[in-house]
Amino acid sequence: MKQDLKVKQENTSQEAKEYIPSQIEIWKFYWQFIKIDWYILIGLNCQWLVESILHTRAPFLLLSIKDQLLNIDANNYDSFFLLVIEFIATHIILQFFSFIQVKVTNRTSKMVQQNIQKQIIDHLFTLDIHYFEENKATSLHQIIQEGSEQIGKEIQYGRIFQKINQFIYFASRAYFIYVQNVKIFISVAVVALICILLQQYFTKEKKKIEKINNKICEFESFALDEILNNMMLIKTYSKEEKEKKNLEKIMQKNRDSRQQTQIYQQITSIVQSCSHEMMKIAVICHAFYYYLQHTTTQNQGEFNKQNNFQQQILSRNLGEIISNTYCILFLIRDLIQIANNSTDDFYENRKKHIGKVMNLFTVKSSIIQEKIQKNQNDELLEGEIIFDNVCFSYPARDNKLTQDYKLIQGQNIVDQTQTSTFNTNEETNVNSFSIQGVLNKLSFKVNPGECVGFVGASGGGKSTIVKLMERYYDISKGAIIINGKNIKDVSLQSLRQNIGLVHQEPQFFDNDIEYNVTYSLEGNYTQEQLNKVLQISGVNEFILDKNRFPLGLKTLIGNKGVKLSTGQKQRIAIARALIIEPRILILDEATSALDAESENSFQKYIEQIKSYQKMTIIIIAHRLSTVLNCDKIFVLQSGTIIEQGTHQNLLQKNSIYSSLVKCQLKQNIQHQNLSLEHKDSVETNDSLLF
Ligand SMILES: Nc1ncnc2c1ncn2[C@@H]1O[C@H](COP(=O)(O)OP(=O)(O)OP(=O)(O)O)[C@@H](O)[C@H]1O
């Protein structure tokens, strides 16, 4: 295991470093992105500043009081009382400040955290859909939770000012000891320096192990995420044991690495506590030395004024010197950190979390909307669609975690970086590469009110067309024109509000059917409107079944609509798309389960949808029977249209489409156990396609 860890350690050192922003970068980021309540911040820092000045003065004040007390007479009563009053006032103010600090920081800490969380979430909503496709929900969740908490704390405790105040405090204590006795100061400082260097060494070692530990923790949450999301798949293939073993392997590594970290942690804490004690011993040794010297000189009859003075000081202030010695330790630690330009462990961890949030804020939507005027937002589209020489490639991300995870599982991995051309995308801070031309000079036209179908082999780019129409991505060349306008000149809201999109695997909220159908209208709909779409989409057919849906529309559908069949889900998704009265309706494999349920009724169904209102309908389907009656059918291959026309026209051409039809027919025949004689009747008997 040790060897394993060593290998991993080497791997880690080769990896790109985790982003740890500098303090200046953090402050720049706050200034640009985070709305901070500067009044609270300035108020708190002023308070800290006053507090540290008072703390600095306090030991000297006490010393003056002691001195006065030893030499008190009628002449200095007034100044003695003034000093006492100042001393009491200082401590009352300090107590009051600490009370206020606890109250204010606790209250505002939560407020700041919530405010930052809101800003992170607001930013997430501005990002493109593919960002969410590429990032795991759990890691985003972690950024929101931990990131906001750490930024909240960082802002709340005003790190820089707090550090300055701390520095003043430690320096004042060190100066206090220096004034009392230079030799004690030097010996304590030497002990502190040795201890700090030892501590630094062990902390460095601990950090190395912690780095590996963090990586393994990441794998652990990655693995858990994968397992929880694919539980059905794992159970289907009875791979519970395999996954358990994988997880156990990662957990074991995690445990080992944690143990190592703990050992280093223990050593550093031992060194730390020893250093306190050693410094105290140094002070006591000095005191003893002066005491001995004083007695010797007295015995010799030579009164040494200097030593007597030091002995007096020591006897009066020994307690305070001892209690303040550890300040020298912190002072030296801070000085070393400043010299090394490093931070303490705890703060580095905080910076990592802040760095993740900063990275998130550098990710910007690639959908540029600058040109759009406000008055164009309400413009309605008519439903004419033109794709003019459209070229497009997907930007893909670096899957470093997946590759490392495969390594830890002991699988062979192909280095994707070698098969693709990498370039550093400064804007998103990730390495990205482009998959070669998904759509290549794609051109087609759909007239308003037409119903068109897209067919073709898997991976031909059918769904990509839909994503581009919705502007989930922007095209690299050419233009997409809807109703005479380039979609880049139409607001996203207006564009998406006029397109009803039904995916093959629609998403649902864990709520009731009515909420999911009327989601986009936020309660602004009439019962009549709702009933109409429920009837057209066929939702009525199943919700009226009181045995299975006793609460009708108010029936809860469960997590991701788990309580519904695929066909039922598709019907609800169609109702949801229709209720916004779109100018364009896109059914992306959205009726596959529906077809199967009600075989020949599909065309009737489309007519029903058309009767709802005039709209352009785009049907993407593998099942050719679905597009049979379309006004136009486009056959797509490798991102270009290779054939277009009506079903009959295309069959007559006797090319790709007709071979697709024949192929599907053959499958259907095999599936239905029909005799091969039926094969020749393709052109006359279209019903076989169903
Ligand atoms: N998010 C993505 N990132 C990278 N590549 C993608 C992404 N989505 C699709 N692709 C690639 O783009 C190509 C076209 O995919 P698309 O989903 O448009 O095909 P399709 O014709 O709809 O396929 P199917 O009929 O199987 O649904 C495929 O080669 C696919 O690998």
HEC letters along 535-582: HHHCHHHHHCCCCCCCCHHHCECCHHHCCCCHHHHHHHHHHHHHCCCC
Q: Supply the residue whose CA is at minimum distance from atom 28 of ligand 1.
A: 459
In the reported structure, the alpha carbon of residue 476 is separated from the centroid of ligand 1 by a whole-number distance in angstroms of 16
Q: Give the torsion sign (CA, 584, 589, 593, 595).
A: positive
Backbone φ, ψ for residue 52 (5° rounding): -70, -30
Residues 557 and 589: beta-carbon distance below 8 Å = no
- Predicted pLDDT of residue 633: 92
Atom of ligand 1 nearest to the CA of 456: 21
681 contacts 662 by C-beta, under 8 angstroms: no
* Nearest-angstrom CA–CA distance, 322 and 315: 12
For ligand 1, mutation pick of 129, 394, 454 (most atoms within 8 Å of CB) = 394
> What is the predicted pLDDT for the residue at 479?
92
In 3D space, the residue among 578, 505, 496, 597 whose CA is nearest the CA of residue 535 turns out to be: 578
Among 420, 434, 463, say which to mutate for ligand 1: greatest number of ligand atoms within 8 Å of CB: 463
Task: Report the pLDDT averaged over residues 68-86.
Answer: 76
Residue 139: how many CB atoms within 10 A of its CB? 15
The pLDDT value given to residue 251: 84
Tokens 């100061």 correspond to what residue? 185
Give backbone dihedrals phi and psi of 524, rounded to 5 degrees, phi first: -90, 70
Pick from 420, 462, 467, 505 the residue to mutate for probing ligand 1's pocket: most ligand atoms within 8 Å of its CB.
462
Q: Whose CA is nearest to atom 30 of ligand 1?
A: 459
Question: 241: CA distance to ligand 1 center in Å?
Answer: 33
- Residue 325: pLDDT over 90: no
The pLDDT confidence band at residue 195, using thresholds 50, 70 and 90, is: confident
In total, the chain counts a number of residues equal to: 690
Q: Which of 380, 358, 323, 513 is nearest to 429 (CA)?
A: 358
Give Cβ neighbours of residue 376 (< 8 Å, ≥ 6 apart). Answer: 489, 490, 491, 494
CA of 606 to the centre of ligand 1 (A): 26
Does residue 17 register a pLDDT over 60? no
- Which atom belonging to ligand 1 lies closest to the Cα atom of 622? 25
The mean per-residue pLDDT over the stretch 52-68 comes to 79
Is the pLDDT at 83 greater than 60? The verdict is yes
CB 514 within 8 A of CB 554: yes
Here the tokens at position 558 are 């469960």
- Ligand 1, atom 4, lies closest to the CA of 394
- ipTM beyond 0.90? yes
Q: What pLDDT, on a 0 to 100 scale, did the predictor assign at position 572?
A: 92
> CB of 461 closer than 6 A to ligand 1?
yes
Mean predicted lDDT score pLDDT of the chain: 76
| Contact by Cβ (8 Å): 411, 418 | no
The confidence score (pLDDT) of residue 30 equals 80
Q: Copy the structure tokens of residue 675.
A: 């005799």
Non-local (6+) Cβ contacts of 629 within 8 A are 451, 603, 606, 647
Instruction: Look at the domain 20-362 and name its fold.
Output: ABC transporter transmembrane region fold (1.20.1560)
Closest CA to 179 of 59, 87, 278, 86: 59
With a cut of 50, say whether residue 685 has pLDDT above it: no
* Residue 418 predicted with pLDDT over 50: no
Q: In a 3-state reduction of DSSP, which class is residue 635?
A: strand
Residue-wise pLDDT for 250-260, tens only, equals 888 888 878 87
Check pocket membership of 413 for ligand 1, CB cut-off 6 A: no
Percentage of the chain lying above the pLDDT 90 cut: 7
Decide whether any atom of ligand 1 lies within 6 Å of the 463 Cβ: yes
Location of structure tokens 């599936």: 671
CA 356, distance to chain mean position in Å, is: 7
Mean pLDDT in residue range 499-519: 89
Residue with tokens 């053959």: 666
CA distance 583 to 238: 47
Task: Of 287-301, 343-357, 390-404, give the range with the top mean pLDDT.
Answer: 343-357
The Cα–Cα gap between 508 and 500 comes to 15
What is the pLDDT, as a whole number, of residue 6? Answer: 41
Ligand 1 binding pocket mutation candidate from 438, 470, 660 (most atoms within 8 A of CB): 438
Task: Supply angle C-alpha 466, 472, 476, rounded to 5.
Answer: 90
For residue 132 and ligand 1, the question of a CB distance below 6 A is answered with no
Cβ atoms 573, 590 nearer than 8 A:
yes
Q: Average pLDDT of 224-241?
A: 84
pLDDT digits over 465-484, tens only? 999 998 888 888 899 998 88
Per-residue confidence band for 425, with pLDDT thresholds at 50, 70 and 90:
very low
Q: Report the separation in Å between the CA atom of 657 and the middle of ligand 1, taken as the mean of its atom positions.
A: 20
Contact by Cβ (8 Å): 18, 355: yes
- The packing angle between helices 182-229 and 400-409, to 10°, is 80
Write the DSSP string, 279-325: HHHHHHHHHHHHHHHHHHHHHTT---HHHHHHHHHHHHHHHHHHHHH
Site to probe by mutation for ligand 1, drawn from 397, 435, 619, 635 as the one with most ligand atoms within 8 Å of Cβ, is 435
Give the DSSP letter string of 402-453: HHHHHHHHT-----HHHHS--EEETTTTEEEEEPS-SEEEEEEEE-TT-EEE
Quote the CA–CA distance of 421 and 434 in Å, as a whole number.
Answer: 8
Is it the case that residue 416 has pLDDT exceeding 50?
no
Q: 466 CA distance to ligand 1 centroid (A)? A: 11
- Give the residue-averaged pLDDT of 261-265: 80
Higher pLDDT, 480 or 58: 480
Asked if 579 and 494 touch (Cβ cutoff 8 Å), the reply is no
Residue 678's pLDDT band (boundaries 50, 70, 90)? very low
Q: Give the percent of the chain with pLDDT over 70.
A: 76
The answer to whether 538 touches 594, Cβ cutoff 8 Å, is yes
Report how far ligand 1's centroid is from the alpha carbon of 509 (Å).
Answer: 26
Which pLDDT belongs to residue 651?
83
Say if ligand 1 is within 6 A of residue 435 CB: yes
Residue 377 pLDDT > 60: no
Q: Work out the pLDDT band at 431, boundaries 50, 70, 90.
A: very low
Phi then psi for residue 411, to 5 deg, are -90, 155
- Reference 184, options 273, 287, 276; nearest CA is 287
Half-sphere exposure of 204 (CA within 13 A, CB side): 9
Q: What ranges do the domains of the chain cover?
A: 20-362, 507-565
For residue 464 and ligand 1, the question of a CB distance below 6 A is answered with yes
Element (H, E) at 463: helix 462-469
Predicted local distance difference test score (pLDDT) of residue 421: 36
Angle CA 577–580–584, to nearest 5: 65
Closest C-alpha to 320, from 172, 463, 193, 219? 172
Grouping H, G, I as helix, E, B as strand and the rest as coil, residue 548 is coil
How many Å separate Cα 293 from the centre of its chain? 66
Residue nearest to atom 9 of ligand 1 (CA): 464
What is the distance between the terminal CA atoms of the chain, rounded to a whole angstrom? 59
pLDDT at 605: 72
**Residue 520, both tokens:** 């986009």
Q: What's the CA-to-centroid distance between 569 and ligand 1, angstroms?
A: 23
Highest average pLDDT, of 101-105, 423-427, 448-452, comes from 448-452
Of the pLDDT bands very low, low, confident and very high (cuts 50, 70, 90), residue 429 is very low
DSSP state of 398: -
Tokens 């037409």, located at residue: 450
112 lines ligand 1 (CB under 6 A): no
DSSP secondary structure, 26-45, as one string? HHHHHHHH----HHHHHHHH
Going by CA atoms, what residue is nearest to atom 17 of ligand 1?
A: 463
CA of residue 458 to ligand 1 center, whole Å: 8
Ligand 1 atom closest to 636 (CA): 21
Q: What is the pLDDT of residue 74?
A: 62
- Asked whether residue 422 carries a pLDDT value surpassing 70, the answer given is no
Mean pLDDT of 312-336: 75
According to DSSP, the residues that pair with 388 across neighbouring strands are 479
pLDDT, average across residues 174-182? 82
Instruction: With CA atoms as reference, report the closest residue to 132 among 439, 506, 472.
Output: 472
Residue nearest (by alpha carbon) to ligand 1 atom 25: 458
Q: Calculate how far, in angstroms, residue 459's C-alpha sits from the geometric centre of ligand 1.
A: 5
Please list the helix, strand and coil fractions of the chain in percent, rounded to the nearest 5, in that order. Answer: 65, 10, 25
Token reading at 457: 């082999």
pLDDT at 464: 92
pLDDT band at 372 (very low <50, low <70, confident <90, very high): low
Do the Cβ atoms of 27 and 52 come closer than 8 Å? Answer: no
How far is it, in rounded angstroms, from Cα 136 to Cα 123? 17
Q: Is the CB of 558 under 6 A from ligand 1?
A: no
Q: Nearest CA to 610 among 587, 585, 631?
A: 585
Q: What's the alpha-carbon Rg for the chain, to the nearest Å?
A: 37
